[in-house]
Chains A and B, each alone.
Chain A
Amino acid sequence: MKLKGWSALASVLLLTTVMSACGSNNNDGGNSAGTNNGAANNGAANAGTNDGAATNDGAATNDGATNAPAANDKEFTIRVGAWFLDERPYMVQFKKDVEEAYAKLYPKAKIQWDVVLGATYFDKLKAQFASGSAPDVIFYQGADIAASGNLADLSGEPWVNRLTDGAKKDMQTHSGGKTYGVPMGLSIGGGVWYNKKIFSDLSITPPKTAQELFDAADKIKASGKTPITLGFKDQWTAQMFFTNWLNSYTIDNPTLGKDVYDGKVKIADDATIQKVYTNFEQMKEKGYFNKNAISIDWPQSGQMFASGEAAMIVQGPWMPGANVDNITKGGFDKFDIGFFPLASDDGKVAMTLGSNEALGVNAKTELMQESKDLVNLITTSDIISPFMAGDGALTSFTDVSVTYADPAMNEVQAAVDGSTVLTSQFISYLPASAVTNMLDSLTKVVSGVKFNPGDLKAAQSSLEKDKATVVLPAE
């Protein structure tokens, strides 16, 4: 078994060598379709299959010490793998809090943070799983990882009972009725963040239908600004925009994903899917996007938004914090931002809510109890609440409340409350290869080519080929 693991690792390395693959910081989604919105620079992706019943009004603050064992003198190093723990202040604070709390339980233990920023982490993690060298405690994204058998069953852990109803349905941390990870907050899949000053100067109110969005974009364009900035060089941003808009259109057709999976509907023939593509086509034709939409990445599009050059950006819940950073670093004029979700033609809105980062334990770790203890203390309010606030996530625990620095997050909460929260979304039923094909078609349209439904046949054939790899959402 060990030999097989090593040979699998060597094979992956050989494949990598054969292709002369070089490293990159491109966040183009090392995620399966189950993880729907790809990896952002902070790894933002939503499984997007959760009930929206998350609440921020936690009751009493949980004290991790009540569930934790007494301190012992065992000397060991515990490895924690992550792709998002960078130098942002709340991340630094998170690591510090975890280390201090763990030192109280295990004074002689050392936490080793195995951080590989970006999507490369997931490639490495797969190789580590195959070779039996994965970290003891693992941050991850992707329903396929939860269902892969590589994570320990944590259903019996004390924090499981504290999960909100929405968190209990989180696809990324639950599989086959078991809990494999902690949802580190519940994040929206994405939506439109707008510059309140530009909207107010042009007397625009947040659009409630697709047509209102086009009208707003028209006004903004006439004022000489870019209505919406895209950074589609990072394909996950294209995925986020497309899937969030498609979600709202699928309210009237909630079984679309399953029907496509079952072969009852062909991707290229479906009017709902085509409608979203034609929306993008229309917006491109009318010049609502930045002219370099395809050749810039998410940080560059974020800069455009922060500079006031563009009025809207479709991004995840990290946007308030990221925008403040961009304004400070770029020396731009400060402005308030607001949020509205992408609506269908008739104003219907569906939003996904799921864990952005999930936290599990390696099923093969030799430090099983120590790992579970570490995970347990991370779920305590003192540690996880500031993390959720920094991440722009809603709470995933009934006894953890989150206070946000930016009032824009209240608009996110209001949007979630006023929308249909989906328990699964269309692309949850597709393999990653089919999603990639659909995004290829999208970037083609956004580059200025007329939408051709025939281009979606590639996605259909990828679905038929890779159907077996899909981790289906719970019914």
Chain B
Amino acid sequence: MKLERKQYWIACLFLLPALAIFGLFFYYPFLQSVYYSFTQWNGLKAPVFIGLDNYKYIFSDQQMLDGMKNTLKMVAFGLVVQNPLALLLALLLNRKFRTRAFLRTSFYLPIIISLVVTSIIWGELLKYDGFFNGILKPIIGESHIQDWLGTVYTSFPTIILLTQWQGIGYCALIYLAGLQSIPTDIYEAADIEGAKGFALFRHITLPMLMPSVTIVLFLTVVGALKLFDLPYLLTNGGPGTSSYTLFLAVYNAAFKAQNYGYATAAGILLAIFIIIVTIVQLGITRKREVEL
């Protein structure tokens, strides 16, 4: 008993430096951030306590509201389009055919390219006198071609499509790993029982794939909620607020409008929102997971 207690205190002693550093550089600033979220602070003058004003204003701030609208669109698109497409792609890439290895690499390749590089390349391809309009012009006529990132109607849909270019390959890879972990003897047993085609997918593949579905949905939802880099680099939220996302709205509130207190409040609220969404989503998908 004495020895156990001694070991306990020694363990605590070893943990202490790490805890102190973590506390100083994470918890203390975090608590400070909570304080700043109740202040008006431009980073230069001393913060002025304004109570809940920052939190109240978030719900009437056009940039935040448009950011929320676009972020939810992104989440919905990820769930309804990206995931099924990624699963379909994984099912195709799981089959045996000659160019399988090449295609697997090709679909994964976008993930390893830096987002800054990606945004520059896509920015060039999509510009008014760029590659895509060069192809479209003879087909649909000059009057119909667009500055895809420069109109309120096309800027955010274009960004959504660009995120799919990277996202689908990544999610497909996770699904592919899941598919390959399903034991083949289950399929053989089902085959003997007479199960074929879609019935195999519905009753064996999908239930066995649920852990992967959980991961992919989690990554899709959190990735969509955190969408920042592409709109920041390609449009900076414009034109107007048409391509704002929640994170971009928070960033611009801090570094463009210099409302650090307000941005901190929005950041805290956003973090809480993400935690809630994640807990709900994980709760739903985990229930459907099948234990082997």
- A contacts, CB < 8 Å to B: 7-8, 10-15, 18-22, 24, 26, 28-30, 32, 119, 123, 126-127, 129-130, 144-145, 148-150, 232-233, 235, 291-296, 431-433, 436-437, 440-441, 443-444, 446-449, 455, 458, 461-462, 465-466, 468-469
Contact = CB atoms under 8 A, between A and B. Distances in A.
A10 B28 contact: yes
B79 interface: no
Contact of A466 (B36, B240, B256, B259): B259
A162 B237 CA distance: 45
Contact of B251 (A19, A144, A232, A292): A19
Given A22-B116, A144-B45, A294-B151, 14 more contacts: A29-B256, A119-B255, A129-B43, A144-B44, A148-B44, A232-B238, A233-B235, A233-B238, A292-B129, A294-B149, A295-B148, A436-B252, A465-B53, A466-B259
Given A148-B45, A443-B240, A19 B228 contact: yes
Contacts of B233: 22, 24
Top 6 closest pairs, chain A to chain B, by CB: A444-B240, A447-B239, A294-B150, A433-B257, A10-B29, A126-B43
A131 to B, nearest CB: 12
A30 B255 contact: yes
Interface stretch (B166-174, B178-186, B260-268): B260-268
Given A21-B228, A22-B229, A10 B25 contact: yes
Contacts of B152: 444, 447-449
Nearest to A435: B257
Contacts of A296: 127
Interface string B222-265: 00001011001101111111100001001111111111101110
A292 B256 CA distance: 23
B30 interface: yes
A465 B57 contact: yes
Given A126-B43, A148-B45, A447 B151 contact: yes
Given A19-B250, A292-B127, A469-B40, A443 B238 contact: yes
B32, B127, B247 pick with most chain A CB within 10 angstroms: B32
Contact of A14 (B30, B48, B115): B30
Given A233-B236, A295-B149, A449-B240, A15 B257 contact: no
Contacts of A28: 236, 256
A470 to B, nearest CB: 10
A444 B250 CA distance: 20
Contacts of A14: 26, 29-30, 33
A22 B236 contact: no
A432 B253 CA distance: 10
Contacts of A32: 42, 258
Contact of A18 (B126, B259, B271): B271
Contact of B232 (A24, A123, A145, A150): A24
B115, B232, B263 pick with most chain A CB within 10 angstroms: B232
Range for the number of chain B residues in contact with chain A: 35 or more
Contacts of A144: 42, 44-45
B128 interface: yes
B238 A440 contact: yes
A61 to B, nearest CB: 36
B196 to A, nearest CB: 46
Nearest to A30: B255
B147 interface: yes
Nearest to B116: A22
B44 A145 contact: yes
B24 to A, nearest CB: 8
A127, A436, A449 pick with most chain B CB within 10 angstroms: A436
Contacts of A294: 147, 149-151, 235, 238-239
Contact of B241 (A232, A432, A440, A448): A440
Contact of A437 (B62, B123, B127, B242): B62
B20 to A, nearest CB: 14
Interface string B87-130: 00000000000000000000000000001100000010011110
A293 B33 CA distance: 38
Contacts of A466: 40, 257, 259
B44 A20 contact: no
A352 B186 CA distance: 78
A345 B204 CA distance: 74
B21 to A, nearest CB: 12
A97 to B, nearest CB: 31
Nearest to A14: B29
A417 B99 CA distance: 73
B180 to A, nearest CB: 31
A375 B36 CA distance: 35
A141 to B, nearest CB: 13
B63 interface: yes
Nearest to B34: A11
B243 to A, nearest CB: 10
Contact of B44 (A150, A233, A291, A465): A150
B194 to A, nearest CB: 51
Contacts of A446: 239
Contacts of A441: 240
B241 A433 contact: no
Interface in B34-67: 36, 40, 42-45, 48, 53, 57, 60-63
Given A20-B228, A24-B233, A432 B53 contact: no
B127 A11 contact: no
Contacts of A22: 115-116, 228-229, 232-233
Contact of A436 (B32, B228, B239, B257): B257
A295 B257 contact: no
A436 B240 contact: no
B253 A433 contact: yes
Nearest to A13: B29
A11, A32, A295 pick with most chain B CB within 10 angstroms: A295
B45 A295 contact: no
Given A10-B25, A292-B129, A443 B239 contact: yes
Nearest to B48: A468
Nearest to A441: B240
Contact of B62 (A119, A130, A458): A458
A19 B247 contact: yes
A64 B237 CA distance: 48
